[in-house]
Amino acid sequence: MADNLLTLSGVHTLIGPYHILQGVDLSVPEGGVTVLLGRNGAGKTTTLRTIMGLWTASQGEIRFDNHLITKLDTPEISRRGIAYVPEDMGIFTDLTVAENMMLAAASGPLDAKRLDWIKELFPPIGTFWGASAGTLSGGQKQMLSVARAIIEPRRLILVDEPTKGLAPAIIKAMTDALRELKETDTTILLVEQNFAMASTIGDTVAVMDDGRIIHSGAMSELVGDETLQEKLMGLSLEAHQ
Amino acid sequence: MLTKLLSGDTPRSGLLTLLLLIVLISLAFAPFLFPGTKSLETAARICIFIVLVASYDLLLGYSGIVSFAHTMFFGIGAYGTALALSTTGPSYWSLIWGTATGAVVAAVFALAIGLFSLRVKAIFFAMVTLAVASAFAVLVSQMSWLTGGEDGLNYRIPRELTPAFKLVDEKILGVRINGKLLAYYLVFFASAALFLLMLRIVNSPFGRTLKAVRDNAFRAEAIGYRVVWYRTTATVLSAIMAALAGSLLAVWLRYTGPATTLSMEIMIDILLMVVIGGMGTLYGAVLGATLFILAQTYLQNLMGVAAEVTSAVPVVSTLVAPERWLLWLGVLFILSVYFFPSGIVGRLRAGRA
Amino acid sequence: MSDTAIKPRMEKVPFKEQFFQKLPVLLVPLLALAGLVAIGNPASWLTLTVAGLAMGMMIFIMASGLTVVFGLMDVINFGHGAFVAVGAFVGFTVLAWLAGWTASPSVMLNLGAVLVAILAAMLVTGLLGYAFERVIVMPVYGQHLKQILVTMGGLIVAQQMIYVVWGPDELHLSRPEAFQGSIVFGEAAIEKYRLVAVGIGLALFLAMGHILKNTKVGLLVRAGVENGEMVESLGYRIRRLFLIVFMTGSALAGFGGVMWGLYQETITAHMGSEIMVLVFIVVIIGGLGSVEGCFIGAMLVGLLANYTAFLAPKVALISTIALMVVILMWRPQGLYPVVKAK
């Protein structure tokens, strides 16, 4: 297994009076897909937001590429090479698809070659290039959100439930795209409730409950071990199977 | 017994208790302790403003609502009493129905504004009340056939409350026992009663819920409290109290005009008094109003002296000129919001340990 | 990849919905038409309409910054009026220095003087905006109650400082030669200055539209209004963006202050708080955070104020409040509610 690109050790996050993360220890190996599983309210989204600096950890350390990033602000974390695809997709609906993409290329003009590749991955990006992003369908918005995250080469992408509420065909397109992205040296931390999808794409897996990681290991191990699955599923995925 | 009168909400600080007692005793015996027209005027103003500021604190401190329409309610009360006295003659009956009408009108206005704009953000309510209040002030000064316009209304009050009425022929302790003195005690006892009533309100289950709503509206809503209902009720109660304070002012001054009741300056004064005294504690209103009005009346003389002394230094002398005292209050205000959001009372209570 | 399965699909916005979305734009001509019917005399109507548009443009200049600042960071600056007053005082001071230019019959010199005055006012209020943001607003981000109180405190201090610097009296100043007098169209006399104000306001609106649509900063502002966190996640410092917007908004308030001062020819230290009432009404009508809404709101308020001032002078200000109430009953978030992702 490669070195860890991202490690969280003993991370606690408070949101107002609520203690959401209660000592998260998580390692994301470089160059693969790590899937974060867990039921609603387990703290998956908070984990991603804490990595991104949108919430600040009250305790613990977050290291990215061997540098401490716990106290950095969000723009700085982004510039270090982490992109974020939030659960609500964070599309600027008032702007066009093109403008959304342009802003995502924070360091300079759009890279034409990379854009062509993205348009191949997600054809609607090209089709609706000049259209207002607010008029896109849910699946198209999801594609735009991922496209924005990868328009510049990033080392790590945090993706929060990219298949939520989407039709099977679009889920497949999304899975294909993430798989192709994996081929390009990009590490992915994926929050997913759809275990079927997660198991086909994930290399490593971590399961959260009540603000802690309760299991982590190789995805193949979890897929092969039905008792373990049952134990964790019963705990974390009951509503989604 | 005393604790019960204060609804269990004692000052909880030795120094604070002492200061409050000084204020209470000074106001209760003001005519005898500080003879002279100017001091009596000041004492009456302090009484009235304690009620007005406390009623504003009901909104700002206890409900977390910023309103700029408080002087409007104050004015409605004052004009209610003033119009009744000037149209139906100086009887107690007109005094009562005028006061009651003012309070009811204020309540209806507050209800309308509350239902209309309390659902949305605090900022929105602040902006709407600012707009409505200034429109109201303009309207009042333009309806001169009714309100006397900018000149306001002069009227007579029941004779027993005027200096012409002599209760005892001789002076007692060097003070003339006349109707003016009765009027002062009317203001004093009415203010004290209203203050105790408000203390009761904020310490009732209603008041406690209000604070819960202020601290976390979302959570209160989730638990099942109707947030809008609580906020609107607080707005209405606060408006009624402000209107009653206005009526007291109308009786005391025997004059009601836009400058003494509706102006934006008074609104800002109230804001300063609440914040400097301490938001979310009615005792703050007592200290805030007392200090502010004393400063307004007497500090300016002091600054005049300072300006005199520094008159050789061009910039400094303009900065300490007596007219510029609001500048320093403004600075003090900003600093209190940053560093002592609970004002003087909060400081005193914190220093108790 | 199966193209058929993920066939691109645009959600069609039904015509009716589109019509209702665009409806607010129609309100301005509708109001103008209603004014014509109520006033009857076309000449007076034309005079009043131009006056109303001029007033609306000036309010727009002052209000636009306020609304964008709110949209971006959820901050309402109750001290915004102070910038209006400071701008007017700085502008008047500069114009008084340039008395030689303003009194000369040369249009170029007149324009030059006004331009210098406006630039000076914008510079001073822009810098003041910087100080205001850093000292007064920054410590209380995200706390609405404190924000309102503190910016109100800033207003008090700023007004008092005007007294300290310029003295307690109001200032009078005649408009430069070229902007005095009227142009006569048929029976209608239209003050030249009002036409100038309409021209400047319109130019500013178009320029703002251009910046917001076609520049990166503009796009970031629009994106930030909708979802500030996402803008940060893409690597932009929204606080710096906000500071720029705050300073621009303050400078525009100063700009508007000079325009308003020249319109009234008299300025006082508390002119800002008086105008703020109109500015707030406009911003509320337009929808907090929306520049287009602010523009339309300003036109509506300007026209209505002038029509009612002619028809029933006593209810002029009340009529704008009534307009606000009616619009909020129709659209509780204002004409153009701003989409907030948060």
User: What residues does each domain of chain B span?
Assistant: 2-350
Beta bridge partners of A156: A82, A187
Q: Which candidate from C145, C147, C160 shows the least CB-CB separation from B64?
A: C145
pLDDT recorded at residue C13: 56
Other CB atoms within 10 A of residue B319 CB = 18
pLDDT recorded at residue A235: 53
Q: Which candidate from A52, A137, A176 shows the least CB-CB separation from C9?
A: A137
Instruction: Say whether domain A4-89+154-240 belongs to CATH 3.40.47.10.
Output: no
Find the closest chain B residue to C166 by CA distance.
B318
CB contact under 8 A, C216 and A103: yes
- In this prediction, residue A238 has a pLDDT band, given cuts at 50, 70 and 90, of very low
Retrieve residue A32's tokens.
């693969």
Distance of alpha carbon C203 from alpha carbon C129, whole angstroms: 23
pLDDT recorded at residue B160: 79
Expressed in angstroms, the distance from the first to the final Cα of chain B is 26
Q: Which candidate from A75, A92, A173 shows the least CB-CB separation from C235?
A: A75
Find the closest chain C residue to A173 by CA distance.
C1
Distance of alpha carbon C342 from alpha carbon C340, whole angstroms: 5
What is the distance in angstroms between the Cα of B248 and the nearest Cα belonging to chain C?
28
Find the closest chain B residue to C280 by CA distance.
B127
CB contact under 8 A, A95 and C1: no
What is the distance in angstroms between the Cα of C57 and the nearest Cα belonging to chain A?
25
In CATH terms, B2-350 corresponds, of 3.40.50, 1.10.1060, 1.10.3470, 2.60.40, to 1.10.3470
The beta-strand segments (E) located in B5-97 are none
Parts of chain B with a pLDDT under 70? 1, 118-121, 312-315, 317-318, 320, 351-353
CB contact under 8 A, B127 and C156: no
What is the distance in angstroms between the Cα of A2 and the nearest Cα belonging to chain C?
27
DSSP SS3 for A27: strand
CB contact under 8 A, C6 and A169: yes
Q: What is the pLDDT of residues A158-205, one digit of tens each?
A: 999 988 888 888 888 888 888 888 888 889 999 988 888 888 889 999
C325 has pLDDT over 70: yes
3-state secondary structure A181-194: HHCCCCEEEEECCC
DSSP SS3 for B73: helix
Question: Measured between alpha carbons, how far is residue A236 from residues A155, A207, A223, A241, B16 in Å?
Answer: 29, 8, 15, 10, 56
CB contact under 8 A, B116 and C325: yes
Q: Which candidate from C223, C229, C339 shows the least CB-CB separation from A54?
A: C229
Retrieve residue A119's tokens.
């348009």
- In this prediction, residue C8 has a pLDDT band, given cuts at 50, 70 and 90, of very low
Higher pLDDT, B349 or A118: A118
What is the distance in angstroms between the Cα of A95 and the nearest Cα belonging to chain C?
7
Retrieve residue C131's tokens.
């100080």
What is the CATH architecture assignment of C47-330?
Answer: Orthogonal Bundle (1.10)
Q: How many interchain CB pairs under 8 A, A with C? A: 92
pLDDT recorded at residue C1: 39
Higher pLDDT, A144 or C3: A144
Retrieve residue C122's tokens.
């914008």
Chains that touch A (3 or more CB pairs under 8 A): C
Distance of CA A95 to the CA centre of its chain: 23
Inter-residue contact C66 to C287 (CB < 8 Å)? no
Q: CA angle B113-B117-B118, nearest 5°?
A: 100
Taking alpha carbons only, the member of C18, C5, C122, C150 closest to residue C62 is C122
Q: Which element (helix H / strand E) includes B28?
A: helix B14-28
Q: Which of B57, B264, B337, B339 to mutate to test the interface with C (most CBs of C within 10 A)?
A: B337
What is the distance in angstroms between the Cα of C336 and the nearest Cα belonging to chain B?
15
Diameter over CA atoms, chain C: 77
Interface of chain B against chain C, CB under 8 Å? 60, 64, 66, 116-117, 119-124, 126-128, 130-132, 134-135, 138-139, 142-143, 264, 268, 271, 275, 315, 318-319, 323-324, 326-327, 329-331, 333-334, 337-338, 341
Q: What is the pLDDT of residues A212-230, one digit of tens each?
A: 998 888 888 888 888 887 7
Q: Which candidate from B130, B138, B319 shows the least CB-CB separation from C280?
A: B130
Q: What is the pLDDT of residues A18-56, one digit of tens each?
A: 888 999 999 999 988 999 988 888 899 999 999 999 999
Other CB atoms within 10 A of residue C311 CB = 14
Q: Which candidate from C6, C225, C232 shows the least CB-CB separation from A74?
A: C232
Taking alpha carbons only, the member of A101, A102, A152, A105 closest to residue A125 is A101
Distance of alpha carbon A220 from alpha carbon B78, whole angstroms: 80
Diameter over CA atoms, chain B: 66
A65-74 CB contacts, 8 Å cutoff, 24+ apart: A65/A5, A65/A6, A65/A155, A73/C232, A73/C237, A74/C229, A74/C232, A74/C233
Retrieve residue C159's tokens.
């007004």
Inter-residue contact C75 to C147 (CB < 8 Å)? yes
What is the distance in angstroms between the Cα of C143 and the nearest Cα belonging to chain B?
10
Average pLDDT value for residue range C144-169: 89
pLDDT recorded at residue B116: 76
Average pLDDT, chain C: 87
What is the distance in angstroms between the Cα of A187 and the nearest Cα belonging to chain C?
17
C5 has pLDDT over 50: no
CB contact under 8 A, C148 and B66: yes
Q: Which burial class, exposed, middle or buried, applies to B182 when counting CB atoms under 10 A from its CB (0-12, 13-18, 19+)?
A: middle
> Rounded to 10 degrees, what is the CA torsion of C155, C227, A79, C141?
30
pLDDT recorded at residue B353: 40
- In this prediction the ipTM stands at 0.90
Q: What is the pLDDT of residues A181-191, one digit of tens each?
A: 888 888 999 99
Taking alpha carbons only, the member of A196, A100, A80 closest to residue A143 is A100
Where are the domains positioned within chain C?
47-330
Inter-residue contact C335 to C24 (CB < 8 Å)? yes
Q: Which candidate from A94, A103, A137 shows the least CB-CB separation from C339?
A: A94
DSSP SS3 for B312: coil
Distance of alpha carbon B152 from alpha carbon B167, whole angstroms: 31
Average pLDDT value for residue range C27-36: 90
What is the distance in angstroms between the Cα of A90 and the nearest Cα belonging to chain C?
6
Amino acid, single-letter form, for residue A36: L
Distance of alpha carbon A205 from alpha carbon B54, whole angstroms: 59
Q: What is the pLDDT of residues B289-316, one digit of tens each?
A: 999 998 888 777 777 777 777 776 666 7
Find the closest chain C residue to B130 by CA distance.
C277
Find the closest chain C residue to A55 by CA distance.
C229
Spell out which residues of chain A touch residue C6, defining contact as CB-CB under 8 Å. 123-124, 139, 169-170, 173
3-state secondary structure B168-186: EEEEECCEEEEHHHHHHHH
Higher pLDDT, A107 or C137: C137
Higher pLDDT, B316 or C97: C97
CB contact under 8 A, C321 and B143: no
Measured over the CA atoms of residue B154, residue B156, residue B160 and residue B163, the dihedral's sign is positive
Percent of chain C clearing pLDDT 90 (strictly above): 46
Inter-residue contact A133 to A91 (CB < 8 Å)? yes
CB contact under 8 A, B330 and C140: no
Average pLDDT, chain A: 88
Other CB atoms within 10 A of residue A17 CB = 7
Distance of alpha carbon B304 from alpha carbon B231, whole angstroms: 44
CB contact under 8 A, C216 and A75: no
